[in-house]
Chain A
Amino acid sequence: MSFWEFANPKKFMDWTTPVVPWMAGLSAVFLAVGLIWGFFFTPDDFRQGSTVKIIYLHVPAAFIAINAWIMMLVASLIWLVRRHHVSALAAKAAAPVGVTMTVIGLATGAIWGQPMWGTYWAWDPRLTSFLILFLFYLGYMALWAAIEDPDTAADLTSVLCIVGSVFALLSRYAVLFWNQGLHQGASLSLDAEENISDVFWQPLVISMAGFVLLFIALVLLGTRTEIRLRRAKALSARAARA
Chain B
Amino acid sequence: MIALLRRDLTLAVRAGGGFGLGLAFFLIVVILVPFGVGPERELLTQIAPGILWVAALLAALLSLDRIFALDWEDGALALLATSPLPLEGVALIKAVAHWLTTGLPLAFAAPALGFFLNLTPEGYVPLFWSVLIGTPALSMIGTFGAALTVGLRRGGLLLSLLVLPLYVPTLIFGAEVARRGAEGLAYSTPLILLAGITAGSLALLPIASAAALRVNLR
Majority secondary structure, B binding face:
helix
What chain A residues lie within 8 Å of B151 (beta carbons)? 147, 152
Q: Using A142-B161, A143-B158, A163-B166 as known contacts, say yes or no to A174 and B215 having CB atoms under 8 A apart.
A: no
- Stretch binding the partner chain, chosen from B13-21, B57-65, B117-125, B169-177: B169-177
Which one of A156, A164, A175 contacts B215 once the chains associate, using CB atoms below 8 Å?
A156
Q: Using A143-B158, A167-B169, A175-B172 as known contacts, say yes or no to A152 and B211 having CB atoms under 8 A apart.
A: no
Chain B, range 171-218, C-beta contacts under 8 Å to A: 172-173, 176, 190, 193, 197, 204-205, 208, 211-212, 215-216, 218
Asked whether any CB of chain A lies closer than 8 Å to the CB of B165, the reply is yes
Asked whether any CB of chain A lies closer than 8 Å to the CB of B9, the reply is no
Asked whether any CB of chain A lies closer than 8 Å to the CB of B164, the reply is yes
Q: Using A170-B169, A177-B176, A177-B193 as known contacts, say yes or no to A160 and B164 having CB atoms under 8 A apart.
A: no
Interface centre among A132, A142, A146, A173 (most CB of B within 10 A): A146
On whether the beta carbons of B169 and A171 are closer than 8 Å, the reply is: yes
Asked whether any CB of chain A lies closer than 8 Å to the CB of B162, the reply is yes
What chain A residues lie within 8 Å of B26 (beta carbons)? none
Asked whether any CB of chain A lies closer than 8 Å to the CB of B152, the reply is yes
What chain A residues lie within 8 Å of B190 (beta carbons)? 177
What chain B residues lie within 8 Å of A155 (beta carbons)? 211-212, 215
Asked whether any CB of chain A lies closer than 8 Å to the CB of B144, the reply is yes
What chain B residues lie within 8 Å of A138 (beta carbons)? 161
With the chains together, A154 CA to B84 CA distance in Å?
28
Closest B-chain residue to A128, C-beta based? B168
With the chains together, A178 CA to B211 CA distance in Å?
33
On whether the beta carbons of A136 and B165 are closer than 8 Å, the reply is: yes
* Interchain Cβ contacts within 8 Å, total number: 74
Measured CB to CB, the closest approach of chain A to B116, in angstroms, equals: 25
Which one of A132, A139, A147, A166 contacts B161 once the chains associate, using CB atoms below 8 Å?
A139
What chain B residues lie within 8 Å of A13 (beta carbons)? none
What chain A residues lie within 8 Å of B158 (beta carbons)? 142-143, 146
What chain B residues lie within 8 Å of A132 (beta carbons)? 165, 168
On whether the beta carbons of A143 and B148 are closer than 8 Å, the reply is: yes
Chain B, range 36-76, C-beta contacts under 8 Å to A: none
Chain A, range 143-162, C-beta contacts under 8 Å to B: 143, 146-147, 152, 155-156, 159-160, 162
- Chain B residues within CB distance 8 Å of chain A: 141, 144, 148-149, 151-152, 155, 158, 161-162, 164-166, 168-169, 172-173, 176, 190, 193, 197, 204-205, 208, 211-212, 215-216, 218
A-B contact pairs, 9 of them (CB 8 A): A146-B149, A147-B152, A155-B211, A156-B212, A159-B212, A162-B208, A167-B165, A167-B169, A177-B193
Seed contacts A156-B148, A177-B172; 4 additional CB < 8 Å A-B pairs:
A143-B148, A147-B151, A152-B216, A162-B208
